[in-house]
Structure 1
């Protein structure tokens, strides 16, 4: 009920209150439904089951404004709603404060459309609340009529309606009312309302005749008219409803410009641009920057801790009446407020009436890439957050390399080759760099001097790249030049082929001609190394015997006990004598080879002198050996004094 109605009810005497209760007519509360067929009359009621056979007038008896030790009376009428006569009986209820005067018969028969009257007498002993219930029984139901005696009550003189001042969206207005307890007992109360209204205090205690201030606040989030009830609840159970009204308007606010494209900026440097927001109203506006367009998203993200430092910031320059510039940097001020990719705008501020606030967007990239983000200004007077689309591009060091492909062609195995690469920094910031090679078969053979360093702005730097391989093969390796601040490393490709040493014999074949049986013959040839690396070699004759060394005729004559010449032919290679000797058989740079032959068998020879190169392979080259052993001894051996196999580097 409204406060005025509640106050009027509290001040009413018994008869006006009785009239009020009668006007609020409603059926009594059933305690039990009976079976009318069990009665002697056997007449079925014509009244609906949800309606009682007798309607009490009034449905509730209320005593108020009474004095202890005095007696008060209220009439009660029971009207027969059926089309035939019905019986009604009042069940006796003991009470020290209430008693009922009525028909002498315990069970009264009432004709259709008529009523039976009772008088309820109330004699209070104290000035407090009393409760009692009268129980009646008819042929069909058992119902009750409640009796209340209302004692002293508190009454706060709230107005029925409270209109709060016009408010901007997301702003707040208030209205304070001085309320007084006009009742006759202490007021213990609670106040409750719903958004967009609030009340302070929400509970209190007020003695008889005392006053206090109650403040109602209006905090609308949408434009339009708003209405809610302020519920005043007394400890005695009464509820009073006060109507709260408020009107909300929205301002036309926009950031200028709405789209902001910042100039390209080198990392570690910064770039700024100004955005303005004008307040043409007479109210101070509050603003706060967010990374989300919706508050619900922001509230969810507040549960997480931001772990990233963002390169874009905002600062405020508020030009007020004295044109004092006040700069508040928003970069990194609130690490608990999560924002998206690279903006960190969590600083709030105020815009005075009829002034313009200027926000300086500071772009400080930490990577060489494109940045784009939408930030939102949540400002009072505007329902939705104002978007600001910001774009910027971060630039890394302008490092250049004088070539991107190096053709190494043929490189001798074990040979060290070096190349110089020129690095140039044409940008405005220093360029820290580092070279790295891939973890591949040939990538491991590259080294750099220096491997890392810093090229100052406008300067150059020479890096020496060294390659030495002990593996043969063709390769194409991409060496990476990583520059801090550039999104992708530069690639320098080295291509080439690692080959073995190059060499040749001075003759195309070793031709011993006809060699007398038992007489050694020597031929000389040179091995020339035409590569730039030393060559370790070993020489051997393929097809030579594997037995004991061959015996010359001199040794056979001097040692008559030898039987090597017995059996002119041998077919088992493991027992055939070693007939060729090579001197030197192993060696390296500039070695000469002496090839000696002593034939112990009568046959034609066609063999080859092969060379094995260390680190390269077996039988890299073969030199044919041609000779014919004869049975007639030569008196003068064909001999050439050798120097060996010559190797040049």
Structure 2
């Protein structure tokens, strides 16, 4: 940017004079002016001087930047708000128009000081070859309050086109801009400012054609647009200078009264011109000869009709069409609702199509699939809007009525059901704002079918028996009747069957039906069975009444008494169930009060299944044992027959039983009979004949067996079990039994084999426990005792003398170890002295039961003196032997590194020379 101090040419005087006292319009007061064709044409024909002279308003400029007043003036405060500059420019926008190339045009720019103190102002412009700024002579002086400083704007265009520029005004407080706009050639179409349509019938199209000429100075490229009820053709166009064209404006009102809209003319240069459109519409004398039609009663599948007249007493040709809705809005809402539902279904079908067709080649058919769905939408909407598929049809659906005449339409009634029909149709006719309603009523008559009996008394019927009846269904009407049995909604209703259950009966004919009935339920019968008739909303009915009674039966015994039973021992009783009726009996037997948990534990299971560790009654807070077994628990007893019932009790509860075996009969009820059950469960008193068992001397790890005597003096058997020995890290003894579980018969003694093994030397004792099934007291206690001992080993020699033996030579003597016990004996040997001249092989080992083993004692002496030592022999878990050993060495302990005996061979040597033989002599003695 630069400070423009251009001077006016010599002798040049501007002819542009600014008007006096222009009005300041603030932003909130600004309104977009409505530019009409005449004003636009007048403005485009004005010169720059004329336009400025007619500019009577000015607005606040756009402030670009606020400055620090302390840097430029001593008057740091202003009476003006920050959104209002100190200097107000006039004009607010500098406009040049109707200019010629290379001619210079000027416009004065007045900057008035709106403050209460003198202020400085300067004007700068951006570099431009077309616009210059000429400042006043006193530009460097302050401007007094209310006074103006006038700058001259020079414009020299190089061609006839649009130009845009701006000036930057700098005051002591802010910077603001003044826009400059040069308007080039413009197209001007001579549209009228307003266009009035004469009064026309509502829903009738009225048109006016305008001859429009381009009176501007450039080609016109334009767009035309308006709003309903007006329309315009063409909507876009191009028109050369001086040329003319026709523009048609249409007026199609949907409602009566006055209508007004704007016709918007948009030029390619950016201007928007508004032409006011006015029209008035009213209803004309058109109507129906009656508002309601009553069609005579009509049988379904047949048709009837009534005639209706539409009169036109106006001077216009009108068009009519029958609709389903009273207004366009209701019709559009129905279309939108249907379209929304259709698009939801379309999305689901599209998603399913994409899921099922993952092949890329098939996805190429996606557009075709979408197009098919759109065509289906259009066809369905057309079907919904038409009246052809309804029970009431109007013919013709649409047509034209000439002035002062009438048209006849036929109301065709085609009922599909026997019921009252009422429908309102609406006649949309040009010349009337609202659609003409027509209420149509009719009644459809269906076939008249009737049973020969409305009520049948069946009497008393035994459940399960089969009953048969015959009915007749007659057609009393004039059209054929198609009937079908309706599905009954009750249990007894499902017990009836009809043959045939559906069919066709011609007028005056009769159809016979076979009715079969059988039920397993007791009670009173009162069933109304229905048959639907095609086209008739009310079914034909027939009612059956009667009473269902049950079969008779009894048990062969008055009660089942088990007496005393032993805990865990099953007991069985037998009774007989007799059916004394003429129908089969479907029964179920159960015992209320029996446990719902797993089956009770039997003595045989407790003996055979060694993993069972529960010997008492168990936790009674959990689900109780199921102690009774009924065989069979369910079944069918044929008419006049009987069946044997076995009831087994395996009690796991010490108590007295007072229960009942109840009988449920299918179709009759539950607990229709009860058979008492008596029993008492006890645990026999079992004891040990000898609670102490002495095994005496026992070799370690060797099994010993004795018998435990268990005595049962009661009248009932008992189940026993030797409890497993508790786990210990290092047990002193082990016990077990190959037959640790079993049954003791009444008044018998049971011998239980017990296998015993001692694991430690010394006096040993251990308690074993024997449990009795069902016993709540602690198990029977058995004290086991013995003396544990290790293996018994003997040595062949108590002392070993080697005598005189050569020194530096291994001399061997043997010892025999004998194991006379039934268990293996492990031994360990060592010499007492350190660095002993004896060694033992093997130094340790195992002697098998009742076997012998030799060990070698090897002497290696290193001197010719007597030697003695002691062999320590330790038997694991037994005694320790100390065996003295003696020996005396003989010979020499001097040795050479080369042999000297039996001869020394010096080899061959020259005479007269010395011969030497070197060897080393070592004393290996101690």
Which TM-score applies when normalising by structure 1? 0.66
Which residue is 2:674 aligned to? none
1:392 aligns with 2:442: yes
Q: Which residue of 2 aligns with 1:588?
A: none
CA 1:461–1:64 in structure 2 vs 1: closer, same or farther (change >3 Å)? same
In the TM superposition, residue 268 of structure 1 has moved relative to its aligned partner by 0.7
Equivalent residue number for residue 540 of structure 2: 490
Aligned pair in 2 of structure 1 residues 42, 429: CA closer, same or farther (>3 Å)? same
Query: Quick check: 2:187–2:219 contact (8 Å CA) kept in 1?
Result: yes
Q: Counterparts of 1:122 and 1:67 in 2: how far apart (Å)? A: 11
Please give the alpha-carbon distance, in whole angstroms, between the structure 1 residues aligned to 2:502 and 2:266. Answer: 78
Q: Does 1:406 align with 2:456?
A: yes
Residue deviations 1:164-209, cap 9 Å, x none? 2323222221111111111111111111222222211111111222
Is 2:48 aligned against 1:14?
yes
Aligned mates of 1:481, 1:90 — CA distance in 2: 102
Counterpart CA distance in 2 for 1:44 and 1:350 is: 81
| Aligned position for 1:465 | 514
**CA distance, structure 2, for counterparts of residue 468 and residue 154 of structure 1:** 98
Report the Cα distance in structure 1 between the residues aligned to 2:550 and 2:54, rounded to whole angstroms: 122
What is the Cα deviation at residue 48 of structure 1? 4.5
Residues in 1 aligned to 2:165 and 2:487: alpha-carbon distance in whole angstroms? 100
Q: Alignment partner for residue 377 of structure 1, among 414, 418, 427?
A: 427
Cα gap change, 1:443 to 1:25, in 2 (>3 Å):
closer
Query: What is the aligned partner in structure 2 of residue 167 from structure 1?
Result: 200
CA distance in 1, matches of 2:521, 2:262: 93
Q: What SS does the corresponding residue of 1:8 show, helix, strand or coil?
A: helix
* 1:296 equivalenced with 2:329 (yes/no): yes
- Rate the CA distance shift 1:25–1:498 in 2: closer, same or farther, 3 A: closer
**Contact 1:58/1:77 (CA < 8 Å) preserved in 2?**
yes
Structure 2 distance, partners of 1:500, 1:136, is: 116
Match of 2:405 among 355, 372, 381: 355
- Structure 1 Cα separation of the partners of residues 640 and 415 of structure 2: 57
1:410–1:496 Cα contact (<8 Å) kept: yes
Cα 1:101/1:420, change in 2 over 3 Å: closer
Matches within 5 A, 1:217-236: 217-236=250-269
Offset at 1:365? 0.9
Kept in 2: contact 1:302–1:338 (CA 8 A)? no
Separation in 2, partners of 1:8, 1:172: 34
In 1, Cα distance between the equivalents of 2:132 and 2:520?
Answer: 123
Q: Secondary structure at the match of 1:349?
A: strand
**Does residue 144 in structure 1 map to residue 201 in structure 2?**
no
Unaligned runs of 5+ in 1: 308-331, 502-541, 544-573, 575-613, 620-649
Contact 2:495 2:519 in 1 (8 A): no
1:429 aligns with 2:429: no
8 Å contact kept, 2:391–2:413: no
- Secondary structure of residue in 2 paired with 1:283: coil
- Structure 1 Cα separation of the partners of residues 431 and 73 of structure 2: 78
Whole-angstrom distance in 2 between the partners of 1:93 and 1:36: 24
The 5 A counterparts of 1:169-208 are: 169-208=202-241
Displacement of 1:300 in angstroms is 3.3
- Comparing both chains, which one has the higher relative contact order based on Cα–Cα distances under 8 Å and sequence gaps of 6 or more? 1
In the other structure, the counterpart of 2:186 is: 153
**1:426-448 CA deviation, whole Å, 9 max, x = no partner?**
32212223457858568656543
Residue 419 of structure 1: aligned partner? 470
- State how far apart, in whole Å, the 2-side matches of 1:32 and 1:333 are: 62
Secondary structure of the residue that 1:383 maps to in structure 2? coil
SS in 1 for 2:411: strand
Distance 1:108 1:230, change over 3 A: farther
Q: 1:403/1:118 Cα in 2 relative to 1: closer, same or farther (>3 Å)?
A: same
CA distance 1:281–1:87, shift in 2 (3 Å)? same
Aligned counterparts of 1:137 and 1:469: Cα–Cα separation in 2: 112
CA 1:490/1:38 → structure 2, altered by over 3 Å: closer, same or farther? same
What is the Cα deviation at residue 231 of structure 1? 1.3
Q: 1:102 to 1:251 in 2, by over 3 A?
A: same
Match of 1:368 in 2: 418
**Aligned counterparts of 2:451 and 2:152: Cα–Cα separation in 1:** 115
Is 1:335 matched up with 2:400?
no
5 Å-filtered alignment, 1:79-98, equals: 79-98=112-131
* 1:125 CA displacement: 0.9
Once the two structures are superposed, what CA deviation does each residue of 1:454-513 show, in whole Å capped at 9, x if it has no partner? Answer: 3323x1314143547697977455443432222122112244568999xxxxxxxxxxxx
Query: Quick one: which of 136, 156, 171 aligns to 1:103?
Result: 136
CA distance in structure 1 between the partners assigned to 2:62 and 2:290 by the alignment: 70
- The aligned residue for residue 73 of structure 1 is 106
| SS across alignment from 1:30 | strand
- CA-atom RMSD, angstroms? 3.5
Q: 1:374 to 1:40 in 2, by over 3 A?
A: same
Equivalent pair of 1:165/1:174 in contact (CA under 8 Å): no
Aligned to 1:556: none
Shift of 1:73: 2.1
Note if 1:128 corresponds to 2:179.
no
- Secondary structure, aligned partner of 1:95: coil
Alpha-carbon distance change, 616 to 499 in structure 1, aligned in 2, over 3 angstroms: farther
After superposition, give the CA deviation of every residue in 1:245-284 in whole Å (9 maximum; x if it has no partner): 1112123554332233322221111221223322222222
Retained in 2: the 8 A contact 1:166–1:173? Answer: no
Matches within 5 A, 1:569-580: none
5+ unaligned residues in a row in structure 2: which ranges? 1-34, 343-379, 558-573, 575-636, 643-926
Alignment correspondent of 2:376: none
Counterpart pick for 1:271 among 304, 308, 320: 304
In 2, the alpha carbon distance for the partners of 1:114 and 1:442 equals 110
What is the CA-CA distance between 1:128 and the residue it aligns to? 0.8
Give the match's secondary structure for 2:65. Answer: strand
Classify the secondary structure of the residue corresponding to 1:335: helix
1:396 shift after superposition: 0.6
Q: Could you say which structure has the larger radius of gyration?
A: 2
TM-superposed deviation, 1:618:
5.5
Q: 1:80, 1:110 within 8 Å by CA — same for their partners in 2?
A: yes
Q: Residue by residue, what CA displacement relative to the aligned partner does 1:208-264 show, whole Å, maximum 9, x if unpaired?
A: 222221111112222211111111111111121111111121235543322333222
Matched residue SS, 1:488: strand
Confirm or deny: 8 A CA contact 1:435 1:452 kept in the other structure.
yes
How far 1:57 moved relative to its partner?
2.9
SS in 2 for 1:103: coil
2:59 partner SS = coil
Aligned to 1:24: 57
* Distance in 2 of aligned mates of 1:488 and 1:35: 96
Structure 1 411/37 Cα, relative in aligned 2: closer, same or farther at 3 Å? closer
Q: In the alignment, which residue of structure 2 is the partner of 1:284? A: 317
Partner of 1:251: 284
Segment of structure 1 superposing worse, 434-443 or 202-211: 434-443
Answer yes or no: is the 8 Å Cα contact 2:391–2:416 preserved in 1.
no
Mark the CA change 1:78 to 1:420 in structure 2 (over 3 Å): closer, same or farther. closer
